[in-house]
Amino acid sequence: MEKIVRFSSTISPKLLEQFDKILEERGYANRSEGIRDLVRNFLVESEWEEEDGEAVGSLTLLYDHDVRGVSDKLVELQHSHHANILSSMHVHLDQHNCLEVLVIRGQTKEIKKITDALIAARGVKHGKLVMTSSGKELE
């Protein structure tokens, strides 16, 4: 197991009180775990700022399959980026609406480009990319 270091920090009592309140509401066992999550989020955000950084994201798409050509367009886009799209899940929500979740790995700029093209397709009602990390840098 990797060695853990202890550090101290200064913060205003009010800020700490607000932080502790949220930690309690979210069920954190202790303050250290909350701070570790904040640091990891900060690192993931930094990774995504580097255009050639390697990252992983999950894209959720909601679309109306009755819109002419939308299904073909989304499949075509996914096939042309098959090396980046690791997995996809399709759910038929009702008679018209489809939900798709794609896991995409690659350089952040590639992931953003693929995501933008999919969200911009006619018939897509909503799309949201959750940016995460390959995990290697978050030990």
Residues in contact with Ni ion by CB under 5 A are 92, 98
Question: Which residue number, 61 or 111, has a Cβ lying nearer to Ni ion?
Answer: 61
Q: Which is nearer to Ni ion, 9 or 95 (CB)?
A: 95
Of 31 and 126, which has the nearer Cβ to Ni ion?
126
**Shortest distance in whole angstroms from residue 99 CB to Ni ion:** 8
Q: How far is the CB of 64 from Ni ion (least distance, A)?
A: 10
Closest CB 116 distance from Ni ion, rounded Å: 22
- Length of the chain measured in residues: 139
Cα of 76 vs its chain's centroid, Å = 23
C-alpha distances (whole Å) from 107 to each of 8, 27, 40, 52, 126 are 35, 34, 19, 5, 23
Of the CA atoms within 13 Å of residue 6, those in its CB half-sphere come to: 0
Of 48 and 63, nearer to Ni ion (C-beta) is 63
For residue 100, give the nearest of 128, 66, 120, 131 by alpha carbon. Answer: 128
Burial class of residue 87 in the structure, from the number of CB atoms within 10 Å of its CB (0-12 exposed, 13-18 middle, 19+ buried): exposed
Nearest position to Ni ion, beta carbon: 98
Nearer residue to Ni ion within complex by CB, 70 or 98: 98
Least separation in angstroms between residue 98's CB and Ni ion is 3
Nearest approach, Cβ of residue 74 and Ni ion (Å): 11
CA 59 distance to own-chain centroid: 7
